[in-house]
Structure 1
Amino acid sequence: MAASMEAACGSGAKHIILVHGACHGGWSWYKVASRLRSGAAELSYHVAAPDLAASGVDARRLSEVPTFRDYTAPLLDVLRSLPEGEKAVLVGHSLGGLSVALAAELFPEKVAAAVFLTAFMPDCVSPPSEVILKNVARSTYTPLDNLMRPQDAEGKLPSSFMFGQQFTEQLLYQLCSPEDLTLGKSLVRIGSLFLEDLQTQPPFTKDHYGLVRKVYVVCKQDKTITEEHQRWMVANNPVDEVMEIDGADHMAMLSTPDQVVKCIIDIANRYN
C-alpha cells in the first residue's frame, strides 16, 4: 500500500486517507471512496482506505497484533510514504479516531487535518483509553450480544472483541440499507479495542497531536457513540470546526455517504 501510494501521487496531490473502525476494514468506506475517486481527476485527490492490521483483507491474525501501534501500522506506513512536503487529510471513524490521533502524534507535519467522524477523539491529558471507557460508562444501551474475551491465559495479548448480530442490527447499522447490513455482517472480523494497551500509554502531546488542526463530524442518530458523548469529546478537546450530519447512524459512511463526502471535500478544500 505505501509503495503504491507513493508511486501514484505526483507533487501537489491532495491526499485523503479513510480509516475504519474496530472489526471493520477499508471496505466499509466503499461508498465514500468511490464518490471521492469519481472526482479525483478534477479535484486532484488521491484517496486511500487501508486495511489496518488483522482487519479487512489483511492476512495477519489478531494474535499477531499485540499493540495498538502494531494495529495502526498500515496507516503509519501510508503516511510515511508521502512525498516530502505533502500532507493528508485523515478521516477516522469510531476506533479509527484513535488511529488518526496516533498518526498525528507521530507525523504531525504530514497531517493537513484530522477528521473524527463519530469517532473516539482523545485529549492531551488522559490516556487514549479514557474516551472509550467514558463512552461505556455513560451509555444507556446494553452490549446485547457483543463479545469481549481474553486471547491468552497469561493476559499478554489484548482482549478480542466482536460485534454481535443483534447489536449490529439495532445499534450499529440501524439506518443502513438491508444490503449494507448484510455486507457488514458478512465482512466484519474479530478485532480488539486494545484497552489493555491503551490504558498504559501516556496522553498524546500538545506539541504534536495537539497542534494538528481537527474537525469533528457529529452523527446525530448514532446509538453506539451517542451524540452526547461526541459533544463531550469536543468540549473536552476543542477542535477547529464541528460539522453535523442528521439522519446518520454509527455507520454514517454507509447510511449517509453523500453527506459524509460533502464534509470531507469541504474540509480537504479548506485545510489542504
Structure 2
Amino acid sequence: MTQKHFVLVHGSCHGAWCWYKLKPLLESGGHKVTALDLAASGVNPKQLHHLRTLHDYTLPLMEFMSALPDGEKVILVGHSFGGFNIALAMENYPHKISVAVFLTAFMPDSVHSPTYVLGQFNELTPAEIWLDTQFLSYDTPEDPLRTLIFGPQFMSKKLYQLCSPEDIALGGLLIRPSSYFTEDLPKLKKFTDEGYGSVKRVYIICSEDQAITLDFQRWLIENIGVVEVKEIKDADHMAMLSKPQQLCQYLLEIDSDE
C-alpha cells in the first residue's frame, strides 16, 4: 500500500477540530493526515478583524504547502467555503497536489471571477435559509469586513441535522466568527488553467445537505467539470461528523498520482 498524505481544510466558522472522527480513520489505514486551522479559526491565534483578504485567511495552508519538500504531493480536501482555500493552493502549488477533493464545497472555475460561484449561490438561495446566523460588519465603511457567525438553529437544522447531539454541542462551543471575504473576492484574478485547472478535481456530494443544496452541488460540478463524482447518501453538510466511515472509504478509493 502506498501511503497517502491527506490535508484537510475546514469550512467557515469551523476549525481543524471538525475532522476529529475522520483523521484517526484515515491514519488507521497507514496514511498521513494534516488537519489545519485557517487564520482566525480553531486555535489559530489570529483575530478575524486582522484579516482582509482570502489570502490572509488561507495563509496557514499556503505556508504549509510552501514548506512541503519538492517531490512530495498531497491530497487536498476542502469542505464548504474551504473549496476557495484549496483553490488558492491549487493555483499556486499545482505541482504539489495529486488531487483536490471538494466535499460539498464551493468550487470556482477558471472562466469567471472567483466570486462568481458565491454570487450564484446567493442568487439561488433564499435569505431565509440562514435562520439565526448573524451577519455583521467590522471597521469603517471605507475598509469593511463583512462577517458571519452561524446561529444555533442554523447549525442544528441546516448543517448538523443528521449529526449526534454531542457533535451539535461541540460545534456550538467551538465555532468562531468568519467571513466570506465578499469585498476581496471580486478583486482577485481569475484562477488559471495552468495552475488551478491543471489539478485533478473530485467532488463528493452530500445528498441531504440543507446548506449547500444537492441542486447547487450539481450545478457546481456542471459549471466546471471534475474527473470523478462520489455521493454520500444520507449525509448532511457535516459529512465528516455524520458519515465519517463512508467519507473515509471514498477518500481512500480516489485515484491519485502518488
Q: Classify the TM-score, shorter chain.
A: over 0.9
Sequence identity (%): 46
> C-alpha deviations, 1:132-162, integer Å up to 9, x for none?
2211221245321111111112342421111
When normalised by structure 1's length, the TM-score is 0.91
- Distance, in Å, in 1 between the alignment partners of 2:119 and 2:238 is 20
**1:65 Cα deviation (Å)?**
1.4
Worse overlay, 129-138 or 172-181: 129-138
**1:270 Cα deviation (Å)?**
3.8
Match of 2:182 among 195, 199, 203: 195
SS of alignment partner, residue 101 of structure 2: strand
From the superposition, tell whether residues 155 and 31 of structure 1 become closer, same or farther in structure 2 (CA, over 3 Å).
Answer: farther
Alignment correspondent of 1:21: 11
User: In structure 1, what residue type is equivalent to 2:44?
Assistant: D
User: In structure 1, what residue type is equivalent to 2:111?
Assistant: V
User: In structure 1, what residue type is equivalent to 2:184?
Assistant: D
Q: Does residue 258 of the first structure (1) align with residue 245 of the second (2)?
A: yes
Alignment correspondent of 1:31: 21
Alignment of 1:152-171 (within 5 A): 152-171=139-158
- Distance, in Å, in 2 between the alignment partners of 1:179 and 1:270 is 34
Q: Does residue 133 of the first structure (1) align with residue 115 of the second (2)?
A: no
User: Do the aligned partners of 1:20 and 1:28 also contact (CA within 8 Å) in 2?
Assistant: yes
User: Do the aligned partners of 1:125 and 1:203 also contact (CA within 8 Å) in 2?
Assistant: yes
User: Do the aligned partners of 2:98 and 2:256 also contact (CA within 8 Å) in 1?
Assistant: no
> C-alpha deviations, 1:202-235, integer Å up to 9, x for none?
2101111011100000111001000101110110
Q: Does residue 220 of the first structure (1) align with residue 207 of the second (2)?
A: yes
User: Do the aligned partners of 2:129 and 2:211 also contact (CA within 8 Å) in 1?
Assistant: no
Taking only aligned residues, the RMSD between alpha carbons, in angstroms, comes to: 1.3
When normalised by structure 2's length, the TM-score is 0.96
Q: Does residue 119 of the first structure (1) align with residue 105 of the second (2)?
A: yes
Match of 2:96 among 92, 110, 120: 110
Alignment correspondent of 2:69: 83
- Distance, in Å, in 1 between the alignment partners of 2:257 and 2:245 is 20
* Number of residues of Structure 1 aligned to a counterpart in Structure 2: 256
> Structure 2 regions of 5+ residues with no counterpart?
none
SS of alignment partner, residue 76 of structure 2: strand
User: In structure 2, what residue type is equivalent to 1:125?
Assistant: V
